């Protein structure tokens, strides 16, 4: 049995770049940063950041271009694919991409996707609100903040029966 499956949760390092293949398929590509944290043998906390190339085809690529922005956290599931290309210096290079088959979007960063995140909303104060009506003072119970409506984020699963994109059709 062979398994080629990758699951990543990280932050986009750049906005998705959307392209169209010669056959008309949409392709999205961008970088994703993931972090790993551990404590070394001396008790010091350590962290390491890995950078991944993400490639998405078809309808998922269109959705990625529409909804994802730099700095946004997202979940990606897919497979590893290694490709070779010849650089401008005529040296052959190999690159490993994550070809996505499923994704889930996290909340967008505040500030236009430039990686600046807003502070959390302050909690309601424990003080009672005073309401005055007809010169009578009435104390009311503390008011909890109204629930914030969360934007519904689609989860998309591609069927394995979908037409495979040929590597020759990819313009990069």
Question: Please, what are the domains in the chain?
Answer: 6-110+150-169 (2.40.50.140)
Identify whether the C-beta of residue 30 lies closer than 8 Å to the C-beta of residue 102.
no
pLDDT in tens, 76-129: 999 999 999 999 999 999 999 999 999 998 877 776 544 433 333 333 333 332
pLDDT in tens, 130-151: 323 333 333 334 444 445 555 5
CA distance 97 to 82: 6
Nearest Cα residue to 68 out of 107, 111, 20, 21 = 107
pLDDT in tens, 31-61: 999 999 999 999 999 999 999 999 999 999 9
CA distance 111 to 141: 35
For range 18-41, the mean pLDDT: 95
pLDDT of res. 172: 53
pLDDT in tens, 65-76: 999 999 999 999
């Amino acid at each position: 049995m062979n398994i080629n499956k990758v699951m990543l949760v990280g932050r986009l390092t750049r906005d998705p770049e959307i392209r169209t293949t010669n056959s008309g398929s949409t392709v999205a590509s961008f970088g994703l940063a993931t972090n790993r944290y551990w404590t070394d043998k001396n008790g010091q906390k350590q962290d390491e950041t890995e950078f991944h190339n993400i490639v998405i085809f078809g309808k998922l690529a269109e959705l990625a271009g529409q909804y994802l922005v730099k700095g946004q956290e997202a979940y990606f599931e897919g497979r590893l694919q290694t490709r070779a290309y010849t650089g401008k210096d005529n040296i052959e290079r190999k690159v490993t991409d994550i070809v996505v088959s499923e994704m889930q979007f996290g909340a967008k960063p505040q500030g236009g996707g430039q990686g600046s995140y807003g502070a959390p909303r302050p909690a309601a104060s424990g003080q009672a609100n005073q309401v005055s009506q007809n010169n009578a003072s009435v104390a009311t119970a503390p008011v909890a903040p109204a629930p914030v409506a969360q934007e519904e984020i689609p989860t998309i699963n591609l069927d394995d029966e979908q037409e495979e994109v040929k590597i020759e059709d990819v313009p990069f």
